[in-house]
């Protein structure tokens, strides 16, 4: 990071005579990293994996490669926009949480205009890209995902713990984006994959919400462990969703768009996540929540990769 000498506006008050001081000026690489952080890259990568898997499953592992590529590009743009505007809307709340206070906007490395312009431009570009390079149906699902995340989910977080349900719907819609991008029709397989991603988010979210419950409370976000500090409702929600995931995750093997090895892995992964959720419900402490979080982070990527292997594995 380079530095330059600038006059600080407050120096006339703090230092008679208006002395100058060294203020850091970010390099292009630093600036690029800040914009990358706006996109929440870990979340974006999981969304892109979901799109890729659903596209492969919808076309029996022989997707139109260019259509899927364009779907991934458009999804990346829409997801980047949603994450950036989520941070723009929550900029004041983020300052109260140590886990988010270092983000580019609350830390002052990017301005409100920078983030708003980035979010608006990537969102518009993403929807238009999907509409022109993929198809209108995929673009429609992309726009719906953006609207649910930015316009509904984000404003609900300080108001009601039901925000998690809306967020889970938005998190599951990339399944339908990948599915329709390769010309797949929405039926039982697509709905099953959507439901898997939707249900998975509850154990995952509840673990995070418990670990950071004090920070969420300080920021005024009404996550379930904030509304119910005992953690019982969060634990029950995690267990119910993990339990429902076990039979739902086996449907792909039952209807023959996944093979016997997938059945075994899905069952083992589901039971493992259910055990972690049950342990969290019983203990309701940070350690059990972190175990559940790790279990959820193993569960979904592994399950999606197994689905990509197709009906013969």
Residue where a domain terminates, one of 149, 169, 186: 186
Answer yes or no: do 160 and 252 share one domain.
no
Residue where a domain terminates, one of 164, 186, 208: 186
Chain centroid to Cα 43, Å, comes to 4
Tell me what pLDDT residue 259 has.
Answer: 82
Answer yes or no: do 169 and 267 share one domain.
no
**Within a 10 A sphere around the Cβ of 108, how many other Cβ atoms?**
7
Q: Which tens digits make up the pLDDT trace of 162-206?
A: 999 999 999 999 999 999 999 999 999 999 999 999 999 999 999
Answer yes or no: do 300 and 254 share one domain.
yes
Answer yes or no: do 46 and 178 share one domain.
yes
Answer yes or no: do 44 and 27 share one domain.
no
Residue where a domain terminates, one of 129, 158, 186: 186
Answer yes or no: do 216 and 86 share one domain.
no
Question: pTM of the predicted model, to two decimals?
Answer: 0.88
pLDDT tens series, the chain, 313 aa: 433 333 333 333 334 444 444 546 678 888 899 999 999 999 999 999 999 999 999 987 677 899 999 999 999 999 999 999 999 999 999 998 998 999 999 999 999 999 999 999 999 999 999 999 999 999 999 999 999 999 999 999 999 999 999 999 999 999 999 999 999 999 999 999 999 999 999 999 999 999 999 999 999 999 999 999 999 999 999 999 999 999 999 999 988 778 889 999 999 999 999 999 999 999 999 999 999 999 999 999 999 999 888 766 6
Answer yes or no: do 175 and 203 share one domain.
no
Q: Which tens digits make up the pLDDT trace of 116-154?
A: 999 999 999 999 999 999 999 999 999 999 999 999 999
Number of structural domains in the chain: 3
Answer yes or no: do 212 and 275 share one domain.
yes
Answer yes or no: do 199 and 307 share one domain.
yes
Answer yes or no: do 63 and 178 share one domain.
yes
Answer yes or no: do 67 and 79 share one domain.
yes
- Angle CA(132)–CA(136)–CA(137) in degrees, nearest 5? 145
Q: How many Å is the maximal CA-CA distance in the chain?
A: 79
What's the CATH code of the domain at 71? 1.10.357.140
Answer yes or no: do 165 and 261 share one domain.
no
| Domain with 258 in it | 188-313
């Amino acid at each position: 990071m380079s530095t330059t000498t600038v006059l600080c506006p407050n120096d006339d008050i703090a230092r008679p005579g208006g002395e100058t001081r060294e203020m850091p000026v970010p390099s292009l690489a630093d600036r690029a990293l800040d914009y990358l952080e706006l996109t929440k890259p870990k979340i974006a990568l999981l969304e892109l994996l979901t799109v890729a898997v659903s596209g492969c499953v919808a076309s029996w592992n022989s997707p139109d490669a260019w259509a899927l590529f364009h779907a991934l590009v458009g999804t990346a743009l829409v997801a980047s926009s949603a994450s950036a505007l989520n941070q723009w809307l929550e900029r004041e709340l983020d300052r109260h949480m140590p886990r988010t206070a270092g983000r580019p906007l609350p830390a002052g490395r990017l301005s409100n205009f920078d983030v708003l312009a980035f979010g608006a431009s990537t969102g518009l570009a993403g929807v238009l890209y999907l509409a022109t390079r993929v198809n209108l149906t995929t673009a429609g699902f992309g726009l719906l995902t953006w609207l649910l995340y930015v316009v509904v989910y984000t404003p609900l977080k300080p108001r009601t713990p039901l925000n998690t349900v809306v967020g889970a719907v938005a998190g599951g819609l990339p399944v339908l984006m990948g599915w329709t991008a390769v010309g797949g029709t929405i039926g039982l397989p697509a709905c099953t994959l959507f439901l898997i991603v939707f249900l998975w988010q509850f154990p995952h979210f509840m673990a995070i919400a418990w670990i950071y419950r004090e920070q969420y409370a300080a920021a005024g976000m009404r996550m379930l462990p904030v509304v119910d500090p005992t953690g019982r409702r969060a634990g029950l929600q995690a267990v119910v969703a993990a339990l429902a995931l076990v039979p739902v995750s086996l449907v792909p093997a039952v209807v023959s768009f996944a093979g016997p090895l997938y059945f075994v892995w899905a069952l083992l992964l589901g039971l493992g996540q259910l055990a972690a959720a049950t342990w969290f419900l019983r203990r309701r402490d940070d350690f059990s929540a972190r175990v559940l979080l790790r279990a959820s982070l193993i569960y979904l990527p592994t399950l999606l990769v197994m689905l990509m292997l197709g009906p013969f594995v």
